[in-house]
Structure 1
Amino acid sequence: MALPHNALVLVADGRKLMFLRNHGDQNQIDLRTEAHDQREDLKDHEIKSDAPGTISQSFGYGRPALDETDFHQQAEDQWAKDAAEELKKRALRHDFEALAIIAPPKTLGVLRKELHKEVERRIVLTLNKEMTDRPISAIEDLLVGEAAPPA
């Protein structure tokens, strides 16, 4: 499906997101940055407060360590949830009628679980790709390739 004029494009991953707007039409995509944000990637010692916990066993020797919480993944998931909340706010104030989402698999999975029904209704394209560090021209090329009918 072609990307209509004034469509919103969300390009996101676990630490960066961009909202782009198509100022072109369905035949000529012209993306312009509307908003962008990036979170700081914290080091382990800045996130963790302690060593992994242990539990006692009723048999055998030793004390196994509990699985450690993946704080980086939690932060990335929260970032995607925040992006879904922003999309909800924009959809409810009728900021866009068509939406394309470009995100890597994990981010896309979290986003899909969190999307409001009004946002879901407006999705015209979803791409499972990491594009946050690519120039806008590469994102436009990707969208043009996806919008083209199969040969």
Structure 2
Amino acid sequence: MLIRNGSLIVAVDGSRMSIFRNIGEAFKPALELVEEHHDPTPRSSELGDDRPGRSSQSTSPRKGAYEQTDLHQQAEDRFAREAAERMDQIARDAKVDLVLVAAPRALGVIRQNLRAETSQKLRAEIAKAFGPHEAEPLAKMLEKHDA
């Protein structure tokens, strides 16, 4: 995949976001960490331990239960929305190509929350999860990726 020198690669996982700059060649990227954000999301049991609600109808003996709310997933979705806001800022301030690499669920949340102008600046969207300090494996994956 062609990634121009100076392009920014944004890698987002559930609670981590790393922004890398390509300092290498277009077909052989070398990434340097520009900024990193971490949202230490506690386990769901630490976020809330309430049991799911129950419902009953006065006209029927039937009872039902509400599904348990996944508070951990809600926190990860909130972080993905914040990542989209940060990408919008970058797209407004910098005149560089953007590449988004994110875990599939985070990618969906980010897509929904990006401004149209930012989406147009995206060179590629890749649905893969990478950790915050994985510049070398990320660069190798981008080198082999077909956009």
Relative to the length of structure 2, the TM-score reads 0.89
- Structure 1 segments (4+ residues) deviating >4 Å: none
Structure 2 residues not aligned, in runs of 5+: none
Q: 1:107: Cα distance to partner?
A: 0.6
Distance 1:82 1:101 in 2: 14
Which residue is 1:66 aligned to? 66
Report the aligned-residue RMSD: 1.9
Residue 118 of structure 2 aligns with an amino acid whose one-letter code is: V
CA distance in 1, matches of 2:95, 2:76: 25
% identical equivalent positions? 27
Q: How many residues align?
A: 146
Query: Which one has the bigger strand percentage?
Result: 2
The answer to whether the 8 A contact 1:53-1:66 is kept is: yes
Q: TM-score, normalization: structure 1?
A: 0.87
Q: Is the 8 A contact 1:5 1:23 kept in 2?
A: yes
Tell me how far 1:71 sits from its aligned partner: 0.8
2:137 aligned residue: 138
Shift of 1:43: 2.5
TM alignment of 1:1-150, pairs within 5 A: 1-48=1-48, 50-57=50-57, 58-61=59-62, 63-93=63-93, 95-132=94-131, 135-146=134-145
The structural deviation recorded for 1:116 is 1.0
Deviations 1:106-139 (A, max 9, x none): 0111111111112111111111111126621110
Long gaps (5+) in structure 1: none
8 A contact 1:6–1:96 mirrored in 2 = no
